[in-house]
Amino acid sequence: MPDATTVLATLDKELDWQRELYKDFHRHPELSLQEFATAKTIEDKLTGWGYAVQRIGGTGVVGVLENGAGACVLARADIDALPVTEATGLDYASTATGTDTDGSTVGVMHACGHDMHITALLGTAKFMADQRGTWSGTYIALFQPAEETAAGARAMLDDGLLAKVPRPDVALAQHVMATDAGTIGTTAGPVLSAGDSVKITVHGRGAHGSMPHNSVDPVVLAASIVLRLQTIVSRETMPGAFAVVTVGASNAGSKSNIIADRAVLLLNVRTYDTELRGRVIASIERIVRGECAASGSPKEPEFEYYDQYPLTTNDAGVNARVTEAFTAHFAPGTVYHTAPATASEDFSRLPDAFAVPYTYWTVGSVPSDVYRKAVANGTVAQDIPANHSPFFAPAIDPTLGVATRAQAVAALAYLAKGE
């Protein structure tokens, strides 16, 4: 048997087509649930390599490669782009536009690196097809739409994913980040926060601005709520526990001399703990209701939850096995322990639905010299365009190669003959 390193070396020759495909995806980004051309390309590739391919959840694509007895590994890439107008100046920059959920025309950009995720997983998928002799089991390459709107994983599940593919033993996903290119960050336990958005409408009573005594002032009510909500983190959460309650938007009224009849607050909640998440949400509702009562609000407040992301919490065993494989394969200094991030993802809905363990790791994408200089200067926040920035521009090399190998190494940790 050739050893893993020898086998994986074959991946390098794939980089030529991968680089071109990456640029092509980057040039042609598609918004969430509108990834039609992207899905078609993926479908064609997988089919060409011998995968049993299905469209699941509209623009979701799943390829299954059965290769004898053994474990079943599901690897997932997200495929959608963002309503951001690209400003990188790259020669393969996007000039695409799309129609946003509110009907407006917006610039579209792969500003979160999903194009890298697709291309790397396609590279790995070809590798797994080419190297069937070196492993045994089942490999599932899953390409998920609409991660950015938290809708894609659910759409695939709603479309019957569980019944349509073999139940995996483990699930794998990765994300490019604005850190040192070529490095891989892993961790056990919480790695991405649960995210919940809630739209709160509170009711006052409108009146002319000179007659406040005829009103229940929603501006004052909203202000009281905003200040009171601060105490969920400052007083009700155990010091050092992770919880964020952000009132991203607070809007009421449009004229100086008219007291409006309502205020609308948009909140975002982040937690690493399901029980704490529940308590934070209960506290939000308790505070809003209490403040409405204090104001004499004439009507119950309304709570509308949306963009809800699950907690992403890596299984300790899976993370250990994958981290060990990474460490064995990559050069020293490549793999490091990463702290949990405050961002959120919907990947974990998939393994959670199968009730299987998973791990999720990060891949750096900023040229090392640039990144290290910014770290040395303490100017990372200013100098390094992060995910979702119109300037976000992963270095194709070495990012694409590392990301492709990472998916392959992680899969082989479960599927390689001898494992």
Minimum CB separation of residue 164 from a second copy in Å reads: 32
List Cα–Cα distances, 213 to 116, 207, 222, 321, in angstroms.
59, 9, 18, 67
The residues near 376 (Cβ < 8 Å, ≥ 6 apart) are none
Q: Which residues are annotated as a binding site for Mn(2+)?
A: 112, 114, 148, 175
Q: Closer to a second copy by CB, 162 or 227: give it.
A: 227
308 interacts with a second copy by CB under 8 A? no
Taking the C-alpha atoms of residue 254 and residue 260, their distance in angstroms, rounded to an integer, is 8
Q: Binding to a second copy (CB under 8 A): which residues in 400-419?
A: none
Q: Binding to a second copy (CB under 8 A): which residues in 333-352?
A: 340, 342-344
Answer left, alpha or beta for residue 200, where phi above 0 means left and psi between -120 and 50 means alpha.
beta
Minimum CB separation of residue 217 from a second copy in Å reads: 5
Residue 37's closest CA among 54, 59, 55, 52? 59
Query: What b/e string do you get for 158-178 counting C-beta neighbours within 10 Å, with b at 16 or more?
Result: ebebeeebeebbbbbbbbbbb
Minimum CB separation of residue 152 from a second copy in Å reads: 17
List Cα–Cα distances, 358 to 29, 45, 339, in angstroms.
28, 26, 17
259 interacts with a second copy by CB under 8 A? yes
Minimum CB separation of residue 11 from a second copy in Å reads: 34
Residue pair 280/193 in contact (Cβ under 8 Å)? The answer is: no
Q: Closer to a second copy by CB, 126 or 203: give it.
A: 203
307 interacts with a second copy by CB under 8 A? yes
Burial of 206 (0-12, 13-18, 19+ CB in 10 A): middle
Out of 70, 107, 152, 195, the only residue in the binding site for a second copy (CB under 8 A) is 195
Q: Binding to a second copy (CB under 8 A): which residues in 383-402?
A: 388
Beta bridge partners of 190: 313
356 interacts with a second copy by CB under 8 A? no
Q: Which residues are annotated as a binding site?
A: 112, 114, 148, 175
Can you tell me whether residue 255 is helix, strand or coil?
A: coil
The residues near 108 (Cβ < 8 Å, ≥ 6 apart) are 29, 30, 31, 81, 82, 83, 84, 94, 96, 97, 98
104 interacts with a second copy by CB under 8 A? no
Q: Closer to a second copy by CB, 122 or 225: give it.
A: 225
Q: Closer to a second copy by CB, 260 or 393: give it.
A: 260
Q: Closer to a second copy by CB, 40 or 286: give it.
A: 286
Q: Closer to a second copy by CB, 170 or 366: give it.
A: 366
Copy the structure tokens of residue 220.
């004052």
Residue 170's closest CA among 105, 76, 67? 76
Q: Binding to a second copy (CB under 8 A): which residues in 266-305?
A: 266-268, 270, 272, 283, 286-287, 289-296
Minimum CB separation of residue 159 from a second copy in Å reads: 27
Minimum CB separation of residue 118 from a second copy in Å reads: 24
Q: Closer to a second copy by CB, 27 or 199: give it.
A: 199
- Per-position x/- string for 207-246, each x denoting binding to a second copy as judged by CB under 8 A, each - no binding: -xxxxxxxx-x-xx-xxxxxxx-xxxxxxxxxxxxxxxxx
The pairing of strands 52-55 and 61-67 is antiparallel
Q: Closer to a second copy by CB, 78 or 169: give it.
A: 78
Query: What b/e string do you get for 301-338 counting C-beta neighbours within 10 Å, with b at 16 or more?
Result: beeeeebbbbbbbbbeebbebbbebbeebbeeebbeeb
- Segment near a second copy (CB under 8 A); pick from 27-35, 262-270, 320-328, 364-372: 262-270
Minimum CB separation of residue 399 from a second copy in Å reads: 22
